[in-house]
Structures are given as C-alpha cells and as structure tokens.
Structure 1
C-alpha cells in the first residue's frame, strides 16, 4: 500500500511540475487599459454630403489618454463625454452661449468615424454654414 501511495504522489508531483513548467514560458496578453477605446477621425467638407472630398481631417483619441491632431483634444473629449458620445447632443452644450451667425446658406458637412467607448461610430451631419457648425458642434468640430 505504501508503494502505491508513493507512486501516486510522485506521479502527481511530476504532472503538476509538467503543467506549471509548460505555462511558465507563455506570455499571457493583458489588456493595455481598463478603459474601452475612444478613437475617432473627424472631417469637414463644404457641400451637402460627405461625398465631396474632405477639406480637413483630424484624429481624436479620448481613451485611454487624450491625444490626436485635433487642436483642442481636451475640450472635444470633454464635450463628447458630456453627451456620452451622442453627437446629436452636442448642440445642447452650446445652447445659451451667445453666438451670432448669419443666415447665409453655405453648407458644411462633418463626419466622425471610429470607436467611442468600444462602440462603432459612423456620424454625418450637414450644418447650414461654418458659423453654425462651430456653434452647434461644441469644441468637437472646431478645427
């Protein structure tokens, strides 16, 4: 009986060593961040649709850190966070702030494509003119 117990113990130790030893050299991928990514490409173009070539494009990354080529990335990320990534809500941020725009019709189309907090974004909106775009787009489309 003692021989069987010793054999089982030695076998168990060998098996445990083999399993632990075989995983010791494997690198386990860990997430780079605990936050869902938020990275966007924003464009502006004169015209009534995004079918016209963009005149300007910037990148905006809000998570895990605030970076990108957007001239006011901190303000743009703060505005998007305030509306929880719902671009249609950006005009609510600007409401009540004095900004006087002409009634000139010179359409400007903006787009946003990428990921906001891990969810795919594909947004397009046409404003009547540049002034209204800057007024209703908060800091997001001011570039």
Structure 2
C-alpha cells in the first residue's frame, strides 16, 4: 500500500514540476520582446466624440490612433494628430484650449471628446466638453478633428 501512495506522490510531484516549467517558459517568452518592439514605448489611443456631456449618451464617432513606430489608425490624419500630441507632450488640455479666433454662438449643445489608451507607455484617460459643434471645430486641433 505504501508503494502505491509513494508512487502517487511521485507522480503528483512530477506533474507539478512539469506544469511549473511550462508556465515559466511561457512567461519568459512573453516577457522579453525582441527587435523593434523594444525600441518604442507603446502609444495607442481611442478617441471618441459624444453628442452630449456623458459618454453613455451615445458615441457619434470613435477612431484609433497609434503613433509608434509610424502613425497609423482610423484617425483621418494620423500623422498630423501624432505630431500635435508630440508637440504638446500629450497634454490634451493644451490642444483643446488652443482654438482659433473664430467666434461661435453661445448655444449650449454640448459635444464631448474622450481619449483612452496608452501614450508612450503610460495609461491616459481624458475628457473635455465643448459648448457646441462650432466650439469643437474651433478648439479641438488635429487630434480631435474626427
């Protein structure tokens, strides 16, 4: 009877070591990116436009923007948007407050822009509400010109 118990214990130990080795091998393969992946910190954003103040009110449009290693995504001008983000160190408030000198009516029909994702390896989340569509177009820069 002891030999059966000892045999089962040995089998369980062997299986545990095999599983640990397999998990360790997978973990180390995923943890060490090679080549070009290590050269750039990830920068991938989802930019959305909402008709209203609350994002749950309904997204009108959402685009993706990836800036490293080259600007890509569904954004209408990925190169311009990435350039604007780099020029402003991804300070979204500087982009939304940089608007043109054009005058807009004082109509309150809020339009909200949101950004969620990663910029140069750091998590970002941003939301800004413009008074109306005119204010959005005059003060949103290339990044929010979606």
- The interval holding the TM-score normalised by the smaller chain is 0.7 to 0.9
| Residue from 103, 107, 114 that aligns with 1:100 | 103
CA distance in structure 2 between the aligned counterparts of 1:30 and 1:86, rounded to whole angstroms: 30
User: What is residue 48 of structure 2 aligned with on the other side?
Assistant: 43
User: What is residue 142 of structure 1 aligned with on the other side?
Assistant: 145
Provide the aligned C-alpha RMSD in A. Answer: 1.8
The correspondence of residues 68-107 of structure 1 with structure 2, limited to 5 A, is: 68-94=73-99, 97-107=100-110
**Uncovered stretches (5+) of structure 2, i.e. residues with no partner:** 1-28
**Uncovered stretches (5+) of structure 1, i.e. residues with no partner:** 1-26
Considering fraction of residues, name the structure with more helix.
2
Higher alpha-carbon Rg = 1
TM-score by length of structure 2 reads 0.72
CA distance in structure 2 between the aligned counterparts of 1:117 and 1:29, rounded to whole angstroms: 16
Confirm or deny: 8 A CA contact 1:134 1:142 kept in the other structure.
yes
Give the C-alpha shift of residue 42 in structure 1: 0.5
Q: Which runs of 4+ in 1 moved over 6 A?
A: none
